[in-house]
Each structure stands twice: as C-alpha cells, then as structure tokens.
Amino acid sequence: MFSKLSIVVASALITLAAAIPTSTPPIVPPTSDQCCASVVDSSSTDAGAVLAALGIDLGDIDIPVGLSCSPITVLGNNCGGVTTRCDAPEIEWGGLIAINCIPITL
C-alpha cells in the first residue's frame, strides 16, 4: 500500500515540477501609443535608475525603454519627443517609464 502511495506522490511532484515555468515569459507586442522624451536600452544607467526607483525588475531582458512618456490620445504627431508604441501602465508607473517601445509614425 505504501509503495502505491509513494508512486502517486512521486508522480504528482514530477508533474508539478514540469508545470513550473523556468524562464521569463515572452514579451508581447506593445499596445499603447506614447510620446516619450527619449528611448534608451533597458541596460542603460538612465533606465536602470528609473526601473530601480519604481521597483521594476526586467531581469536579463534587454528591450527599448521609453523615459518620461505620456499617452497619445489625439491623432496627429504633436509629440515633441519620440513617438512610440509601448507597454505603459499609466497607473503603476505614472508616465515615468514605458517598456518594450517600438518607434512609430502617426
């Protein structure tokens, strides 16, 4: 009886271990049009300072990061900086930073 129980427990643990992700999730395409003061690499010191202040850890992911971004809500290019499409949750990051920024033309 105990041998059957140990087999069931071992099988459950193996299944659980296989289901735990071992790498960072893929970056999804950005969804928000933003006007950023500048776009820098996430490994730059400027981006690192803002990311650290906001408690954002990108790990080893190396992506373009927009600094001092605001949403573009009106059609046309009135952006005085770099027009991008980014992932930029306004509530969490307060416009200080946006990640996964791709330059666009409106």
User: What is the tens place of the pLDDT at every residue in 69-101?
Assistant: 888 877 655 788 888 888 866 666 777 888 888
CB within 8 Å of 88: residues ≥ 6 apart: 32, 34, 66, 69, 71, 95, 97, 98, 99
The label of the residue with tokens 């960072």 reads 24
The tokens for 69 are 């971004």
The predicted pLDDT at position 82 comes to: 87
Q: What is the pLDDT of residues 8-59, one digit of tens each?
A: 444 544 554 444 554 444 545 567 788 889 999 988 988 888 888 888 888 8
Instruction: Return the HEC string of 32-76.
Output: EEEEEEEEEECCCHHHHHHHHHHCCCCCCCCCEEEEEEEECCCCC
